[in-house]
Amino acid sequence: MINKYRRTVNKEFEKSSFWPTFTDMISTVLMVVMLMLFSSESITGSVEKDLAKNIDVSVNQTLKESGLPFIIDQNTGQVTFGEKTMFDVDSSILKPEAKEMLKILIPKYVESIYKDYGDNISKIVIKGHTDDVGSYLYNLDLSQRRAFSVAEFIVGNEIGDYKYKDKVLKNIEAIGRSEAELIKSSEGSINRDSSRRVEMKYEINVNK
C-alpha cells in the first residue's frame, strides 16, 4: 500500500515538475532570441555610425568648401537637396547646375559608403518630397518623377563613370512620398520650402 502511494506521488511530482522545466526552457529560448536581436541592432547601429563618420570626414568638408547647396546629416549620412537647387516649380527635369553638383557629389559620396562597408549596403534610396499644396496624388506623381530623375542621372551615362557605379546601379531605388513627410517648424507650422526636397540615403544589412 505504501509503495503504491509512493508511485502515485512520484508520478504526480513528475507531471507537475515538467511544466516549470518547460517554462524555463521557453524563457531561455526567448532570452537568447532577444539577445541576438539586440546584438544585431547594436552591430547595425555601429556600422551606420561608422558610415556616417566616413561620409562626414571624406565628403562633407570637401564639398562644404566647394559651396555646393545641400545638407548632409552627420548622424545618418543622409543627403538632402532643396527643390530650388534641383528643379523648377512643378518640374521633374534636373537643372543644369543640379547635374553639375551631382557630378561632383556622387563619386565622393558613393566611394565613402562602399569603400569599407560595400558588402553591408543593401539599398541606395532616393526619396522625393513635396509640400501640402495641391492634391496628394498630383504631389505623389511629382515626387516620384523627381526621385526617378535623380536616380536616373546617378546611374546614367551623362554623369560618367565613377568607382562603385555598378553596385549603385544594382542597389538604387526611387520613391515618391508626396506630402507624407512634411517638415514643420518648432511652433508646428509647415515649412513648405524645406518640405519640397529630395533625399538620398543608404540602407544597410549587416547579415549580407
**pLDDT tens digits along 16-38:** 555 556 566 666 656 655 555 44
Domain boundaries defined on the chain: 44-204
Q: Tell the burial category of 53 from Cβ atoms under 10 Å away from its Cβ (0-12, 13-18, 19+).
A: middle
Which CATH number does the domain 44-204 belong to among 3.40.50.300, 3.30.1330.60, 3.20.20.10, 3.30.1330.10?
3.30.1330.60
Q: Which of 125, 64, 126 is nearest to 94 (CA)?
A: 126
CB atoms within 10 A of CB 39: 11
Q: How far apart are CA 200 and CA 147, in angstroms?
A: 9
> pLDDT tens for residues 101-158?
999 889 888 888 888 777 878 899 999 999 999 999 999 999 999 999 999 999 999 9
Q: Which residues pair with 197 in a beta bridge?
A: 82, 129
